[in-house]
Every structure is written in C-alpha cells, then in structure tokens.
Copies of this chain bind each other. A is one copy, B any other.
Amino acid sequence: MSTEIRLDHHRELRIGIPEAILCEGKTDEHLCEILEEADRLGAALLLTRLPRERLAALPDRLRAKLDHEPVSRTAFFGQPRAIETRAKVAIVSAGTSDARVFREVARTLRFHGRACREFHDVGLAGLWRVMERVEEIGSHPIVIVVAGMDAALPTVVGGLVKSALIAVPTSNGYGVAAGGESALRATLASCSAGITVVNIDNGFGAACAAIRILSAIDSATKSEVS
C-alpha cells in the first residue's frame, strides 16, 4: 500500500507553504503511513478535518505527538513554527456558530508561525458590534471574514477597510442556507470591490491565501530595506 503515498517534500520551497494532510476521505491505514513517514523525516505536519473520534485509530506512539484541537478538527504533528510578534491578520466572524471554521483559520496561521487577532460575534443584525471595532480591524493588512447564511458581513467590512479581504463562506444554517451555497454566492456577488473568496468552510485555504500575501509583503519590505 505504501506505494500509494508520495509526500511533496519541496512544496514549502516552491510555494512557501508545506504540504498539509486533509484527513477526510483517507483510510486510517493511509493516515498512519503518512504520519510514520513524517516522523521518520522529522517533518512537522498540519492535519485538517481530523475529528476527535478518529484519533482512537492511531497507534499511541503517533497520537502522543499530535496537538489536537477538537472544534477546528485540526492537529499539529511535531512542532509548529515559532510565532511572529505582530499580528498582521484579523479574523472576523458573525457568530459563534462558525467556530469550527474560524478556529481552523487561526490554527492554520499558528502552525505556520503567523499571528492573528480575532474579532467574533460581530454579525450585522447588531451593526454597532462591527462598527465599534472596524477601525481596529482595518489596521491589519489582511482581514479574513468568516460568514454563513446571508454572508453580508464581508460586504460591510469591505466597504470600510483598505485591507486585503478574504471571505470564507460557511455551511452553517438551514433551508436555503444549509450547505453554504447561499453564503458562497453572496460573497462572490458582493457589491464591495476587491473581496476574494475561498471554498465553503475552507478556513485552511483562507489562512494559506493570507500566508501568500504575507510572503509578498515580507519580500517587498526586505528588498525595499536592503
């Protein structure tokens, strides 16, 4: 079976982000093989979509090396990068129902050593909640807005801040909101200019997009200074 797995060791070199493991859809056997391989190489690994229930299928030795967070269903295998001092990313969410997703954003950033600041439960049904924090939000070069249902929050934030803006539609809700298609469409059709979007519930992807932008900023400041 091991012939079915080939890790992409040079990915970080190429794109600035090491390979991560999406556990959903993988068999327990494949998951173990991947961890063994990483362990052998001494590589740190981010695992996503790994619900607590699946941990039991791992051998104790491997499980012991996992730092698992149940709401986001992420795990760090091995040591994440040292964290930078200043938060350049703001994570904004409309309500606690999206915790699953905004914690995935935060955990992914953390694994890659990127600091962030969180602004939660600022849904538009109480506009004052986002208004009183919008200046602080806008002081970050990158803003990630996690929003389900009608996903109106990215539009309002996008009309108020200069920052690069990444929207993560979520699958939370019922009726037309269930599954996140409504939130996805609303963010794509936003009347605020320059909002970008990732897949429904894709907190990992939004964090990676932020990391790409942060790399661009880092390069620019380095070349500028030198």
Contact = CB atoms under 8 A, between A and B. Distances in A.
Interface stretch (A50-58, A76-84, A186-194): A186-194
A44 interface: no
B216 A161 contact: no
A212 B208 CA distance: 17
Contact of A209 (B100, B184, B194, B200): B194
B6 A186 contact: no
A160 interface: yes
Please give the count of copies of this chain that the complex contains: 8
A71 interface: yes
Contacts of A124: 152, 155-156, 159, 191-192
Interface residues of A, number: 105
B196 A197 contact: yes
Nearest to A4: B120
Given A159-B124, A164-B216, A216-B163, A175 B188 contact: yes
Nearest to A96: B30
Interface of A: 3-6, 8, 10-11, 14-17, 19-20, 22, 24-27, 30, 34, 49, 71, 94-100, 118, 120-129, 141-142, 148-152, 155-156, 158-166, 171-177, 180-202, 204-205, 207-213, 215-217, 219-221, 224-225
